[in-house]
Structure 1
Amino acid sequence: MTDTSIRRADVATVATPIGPFTAIVDADGAVLASGWTADPAELTSVIHATLRPAELRQRDALGEVTRAVTAYHAGELTAIDAITVRQRSGEFLTHAWEVLRKVPAGEPVTYTEFAGLSGRPAATRAAANACARNAAALFVPCHRVLRIGGALGGFRWGLDAKRWLLAHEA
């Protein structure tokens, strides 16, 4: 079933120290997808089919979302916390994304710890899958999850970006 209330969405790109950051928001301002790219097509492909907009309207800015992105990159690490995010998937992934939003800046966790926080301590692969399928980078801070021993693991937007984000939050 498709959510017909989300036919159009707004998109804007802002410059950051690690490259252009684009966000796509629905009519009520909830982030549907975001990441360090200037190409909205890279983002629309990861939005759940029931939320995917048929049309994107280019904007210069997205109000609170753009202000939060700018403030975060300028050092106000909690600026992203109050931004509403809308993602859909199965029960575990949806819950894992909510849990991930509670991992504080400067306190990264391992995939194993993230699995435990998500209520499935043996499901490390499922926790890693939640990070890989996260469409709302930064607002759902999957960059705060590391491999055991501190290795970075993966990151859709590149390991240099993940390294910068972690150092920025340290």
Structure 2
Amino acid sequence: MIAAQLVPTPVGPLSLLSREGVVVAAGFTADPTEMFVRLTPELQSEGLEVVDDLGAASEAVRAYLAGDLDALDAVQVSQPGTATRKRLHAALREVKAGTTVSYAELAERAGMPRTAARAAGSACAQNLIAPFVPCHRVLPSVGGYGGYYYGVPVKEWLIAHESRAL
């Protein structure tokens, strides 16, 4: 069974989905089924149950919101993807709170050539576990915030929160 919890945040509810203590999806939506339908068919076949408390994952979110910017790093996550996408997601988790990188820099950190910036952008767009896999910390090299699956205002808030807490 996939367990889901809604955690309130200053930018709206964060849906957390977990399987056996491992976060498999997280996103800024009040409806956990929006995240559930993005999971693999195998995970969806397990069903979804909304619970009151997911333990470590929800505690980490509350600690992050309270200013412990490293709290999300300790939570185990798992999401599907090609070997390239998994390398990019792992590199994303290494981008420290309060800092940002460009898509080209993210590709380099993943051991890919600078020309792989498009793959980095795709990995961010397909990321199922925000903000644990912090795609909000990736900005276009031409300036601005770029896009964000949950809306640019959420991305702006996350970056500002991390800057304030440092």
- 2:157 maps to 1:169: no
124-133 or 44-53, which deviates more: 44-53
Query: Which segments of 5 or more consecutive residues in structure 2 lack a partner in the other structure?
Result: none
- The answer for the alignment partner of 2:149 in structure 1 is 156
The aligned counterpart of 1:43 is 35
- For residues 79-158 of structure 1, the aligned pairs below 5 Å read 79-120=71-112, 121-158=114-151
Instruction: Write the distance in 2 (CA, Å) between the matches of 1:33 and 1:150.
Output: 29
Counterpart Cα distance in 1 of 2:41 and 2:102? 30
Cα distance in 1 between the residues matched to 2:50 and 2:87 = 31
> CA 1:140 to 1:61, structure 2 compared with 1: closer, same or farther past 3 Å?
same
Provide the TM-score with structure 1 as the length reference. Answer: 0.91
Aligned partner (choices 5, 14, 23) of residue 21 of structure 1: 14
8 Å Cα contact 2:8/2:14 also seen in 1: yes
User: Is 2:4 aligned against 1:11?
Assistant: yes
1:139-161 deviation digits (Å, cap 9, x = unpaired): 10000000014311111111000
Q: Residue 116 of structure 1 contacts residue 122 of structure 1 at CA under 8 Å; is this kept in 2?
A: no
Q: Can you list the C-alpha shifts for 1:99-158, whole angstroms capped at 9, x where unaligned?
A: 100000011001111111112221111000000000001110000000014311111111
Question: Percent sequence identity over matched residues?
Answer: 42
Scaled by the length of structure 2, the TM-score of the pair is: 0.93
Kindly indicate whether the alpha-carbon contact (under 8 Å) linking 1:46 and 1:133 is maintained by their aligned counterparts in 2.
no
**Cα distance between partner residues in 2 of 1:49 and 1:86:** 15
Relative to its length, the structure with more helix (as a share) is 2
CA distance in 2, matches of 1:49, 1:150: 37
Are the counterparts in 2 of residues 96 and 118 from structure 1 also a CA contact under 8 Å?
yes
Distance in 2 between the 1:122 and 1:149 partners? 15
Deviates more, 1:77-86 or 1:114-123: 114-123
SS in 1 for 2:147: coil
Q: Spell out structure 1 runs of 4+ moving beyond 2 A.
A: 48-54
Correspondence for 1:56: 48
Shift of 1:70: 0.9
How far is the alpha carbon of 1:47 from its aligned partner? 1.8
**Structure 1 pair 68/53, CA: closer, same or farther in 2 (3 Å)?**
farther
Q: Is the 8 A contact 2:2 2:43 kept in 1?
A: no
